[in-house]
């Protein structure tokens, strides 16, 4: 029997996060271990009259990066480019059976692959900005990640599903409340000129005058709950230290310090 929370997460994603419409082309991707959720997403898309396609992710990235020659690392798969240009909705399910699987891979190889995919990302971002493509990323709890979080699988499932507000009677209504609250935050920040972040080993000044703050309430990511913008180019000045470890492209990184010197001619006070 399927966990009812998986069914509810699929409904929340399809009906709220990306709001799938009849006859829209929907691309669903994710690791095969997330098939219970992928299957429910597929079902919900069909019930909504859409045209869903599943492309499972197999655990071959390590093999590719270890053995691929430079021309293979640079090669851009035509299917990926076609999907970025053609689909209406992209749903990505994230779960990682081995988060540190690429620890011993040469970082230059990883960087080369990411650079070669830049065109695809630009197409995706451009179509998203134009309103021609909607996308969302959502989690699927598995034992491997529960172990990384020092939790039992049951605890981790509760943590993930509750963070999506699936423990609430009406998750959609709850996310709409979050959107309304964060919209007020955005309206306030839209009038702000400077952001000064001060903390332990952190003192960062940003100029955000004229920037638009974006309200994230479960549409691009699930779970969610943030507002963001980009500072004025070359305005950042200061230092930020990140002590909490993170995993990026299969490698764990920790205790990272970012130092941004003032741009030539820039007033360090941000004026």
In tens, the pLDDT along 245-257 reads 777 766 777 788 8
Q: Which of 41-45, 104-108, 124-128 has the highest mean pLDDT?
A: 41-45
**Are 237 and 108 members of one domain?**
no
Q: How far apart are CA 130 and CA 218, in angstroms?
A: 19
**Are 129 and 35 members of one domain?**
yes
pLDDT (0 to 100) of residue 269: 52
Neighbour order of strands in the sheet with 194-199: 194-199, 202-207, 237-242, 256-260
Is position 175 within any domain?
no
**Measuring CA to CA, which residue among 1, 16, 3 is closest to residue 171?**
16
Report residue 47's pLDDT band, with 50, 70 and 90 as the boundaries. Answer: very high
- Number of domains the chain contains: 2
Is position 55 within any domain?
yes
**Are 36 and 93 members of one domain?**
yes
**Are 44 and 9 members of one domain?**
yes
pLDDT in tens, 87-107: 999 999 999 888 888 888 998
**Are 208 and 114 members of one domain?**
no
Is position 199 within any domain?
yes
Is position 174 within any domain?
no
pLDDT of 270 higher than 50: no
pLDDT (0 to 100) of residue 20: 97
Report residue 234's pLDDT band, with 50, 70 and 90 as the boundaries. Answer: confident
**Are 143 and 42 members of one domain?**
yes
Locus of tokens 């919900």: 44
pLDDT in tens, 140-194: 999 999 998 899 999 999 999 999 999 999 999 999 999 999 999 999 999 999 9
Return the CATH number at 26. Answer: 3.40.1830.10
**Are 125 and 253 members of one domain?**
no
Residue 60 lies in domain = 4-167
């Amino acid at each position: 029997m399927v966990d009812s929370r998986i069914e509810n997460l699929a409904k929340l994603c399809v009906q709220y996060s990306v709001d799938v419409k009849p006859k829209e082309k929907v691309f669903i991707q994710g690791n095969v271990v997330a098939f219970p959720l992928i299957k429910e997403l597929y079902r919900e898309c069909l019930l909504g009259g859409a045209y869903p396609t599943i492309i499972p992710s197999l655990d071959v990235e390590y093999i590719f990066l270890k053995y691929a020659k430079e021309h293979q690392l640079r090669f851009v798969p035509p299917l990926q480019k076609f999907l970025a240009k053609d689909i209406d909705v992209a749903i990505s399910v994230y779960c990682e059976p081995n988060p540190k699987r690429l620890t011993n891979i040469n970082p230059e190889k990883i960087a080369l692959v990411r650079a070669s995919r830049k065109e695809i990302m630009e197409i995706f971002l451009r179509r998203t900005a134009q309103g021609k493509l909607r996308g969302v990323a959502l989690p699927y709890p598995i034992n491997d990640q529960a172990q990384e979080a020092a939790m039992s699988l049951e605890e981790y499932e509760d943590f993930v599903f509750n963070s999506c507000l699936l423990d609430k009677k009406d998750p959609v209504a709850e996310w709409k409340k979050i959107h309304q609250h964060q919209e007020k935050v955005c309206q306030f920040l839209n009038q702000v000129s400077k952001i000064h972040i001060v903390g332990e080993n952190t003192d960062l000044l940003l100029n955000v005058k004229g920037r638009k703050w974006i309200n994230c309430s479960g549409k691009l990511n699930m779970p969610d709950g943030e507002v963001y913008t980009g500072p004025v180019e070359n305005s950042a000045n200061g230092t930020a230290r990140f002590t909490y470890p993170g995993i990026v492209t299969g490698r764990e990184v920790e205790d990272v310090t970012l130092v941004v010197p003032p741009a030539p001619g820039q007033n360090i006070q941000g004026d």
